[in-house]
Amino acid sequence: MIKKRLFLGLLACSLLLMAGILAYFFLTFFRRDPGVLRYIFLGVILAVLAVLAVILLGFSGILLSLLSDREFLFLEKPMNFTVSLLYPVVVRVGRLFKIAQDKIQRSFVEVNNQLVRVRCGRLKPDRLLVLLPHCLQTAECNKRITSDQSNCIRCGRCPVGGILNLCDRYGVPVRIATGGTLARDAVKKLQPQAIVAVACERDLTSGILDCIPLPVLGVTNERPNGPCYNTAVNLQSVEESILFFIKGGEKNVRLNLSS
């Protein structure tokens, strides 16, 4: 929960900041300006208040879901709206407090993953998509796996072969993307109902925000050689994420892994 608190705290600060700006405009312009201008400001203030009310609803939904580990379907749209609208504000507020962006991204991915995990619908394996970054392939390998992943001979020198084996075992489509555009194309073409994405915190964050309202479970890659070069990933985390969707929830994942 500690990691999640950072994003939630900044989200609360962003909400307060927006409310403060609204109060400032109310006190500065609305109360002083007589005549028609007053009514224009009233209209603007009411519109912003309505947006703030939806954001507050979304924020409450996020907190309730995280604290109770339950899904609140009727709050899903306000929650998605809150995250999409406030994420850029959260990053700026974080900058004011000198908090590194990658820390915020890590916290956001944690919050997102828990929000996805409180859902427990079961998916057909072919409705799920596993998205992998090209940097998982070792630089010494000359197989062209982004255009056709069957070119991978699963030699075991990098994690790609192991993940392809997992996807074959569970019958889940997989794509290896060199960047956001190829990943977006794969999502558009395959129209999955959920995604398991492996990437760094930065790419996971932009991918998750791009895919809203699609549920995305993010698995952060390990970068022992620096960013974007011969990265690694925990295969068990990838398998657990796949099973979460195709077995329908955390409890069934544990049963499946222990059997």
Nearer Cβ to ligand SF4 (109/145):
145
Q: Which stretch binds ligand SF4 (CB under 6 A): 40-48, 114-122, 127-135, 139-147?
A: 139-147
Q: Apex CA 6: angle with CA 24 and CA 14, to 5°?
A: 15
What is the smallest separation between the CB atom of 154 and ligand SF4, expressed in angstroms? 5
Instruction: Single out the residue of 66, 141, 190, 212 in contact with ligand SF4 (rule: CB under 6 A).
Output: 141
Instruction: Single out the residue of 139, 155, 228, 255 in contact with ligand SF4 (rule: CB under 6 A).
Output: 155
**Residue 137 touching ligand SF4 (CB under 6 A):** yes
**What CA–CA distance (Å, rounded) separates 2 from 212?**
24
Q: Apex CA 130: angle with CA 87 and CA 119, to 5°?
A: 60
What is the smallest separation between the CB atom of 223 and ligand SF4, expressed in angstroms? 17
**Residue 15 touching ligand SF4 (CB under 6 A):** no
CA 91, 92, 98, 100 torsion: positive or negative?
positive
**What CA–CA distance (Å, rounded) separates 137 from 152?**
10
Instruction: Single out the residue of 158, 177, 186, 194 in contact with ligand SF4 (rule: CB under 6 A).
Output: 158
Q: Which stretch binds ligand SF4 (CB under 6 A): 57-65, 66-74, 150-158, 182-190?
A: 150-158
| Residues 186/216, Cβ–Cβ less than 8 Å | no
SS3 101: helix
**Residue 186 touching ligand SF4 (CB under 6 A):** no
DSSP 8-state symbol, 232 = B
Nearer Cβ to ligand SF4 (50/153):
153
Size of the site for ligand SF4 (CB under 6 A): 13
Q: Rounded to a whole number, what is the distance in angstroms from the first to the last CA of the chain?
A: 29
SS3 234: coil
* Residue 139, φ and ψ in degrees, nearest 5: -65, -20
**Residue 153 touching ligand SF4 (CB under 6 A):** yes
The residues, any chain, with a CB within 8 Å of residue 169's CB and separated by 6 or more, are none
Q: Which stretch binds ligand SF4 (CB under 6 A): 94-102, 127-135, 145-153, 237-245?
A: 145-153
Nearer Cβ to ligand SF4 (93/174):
174
Residues at the interface with ligand SF4 (CB under 6 A): 137-138, 141, 143, 145, 152-155, 157-158, 160-161
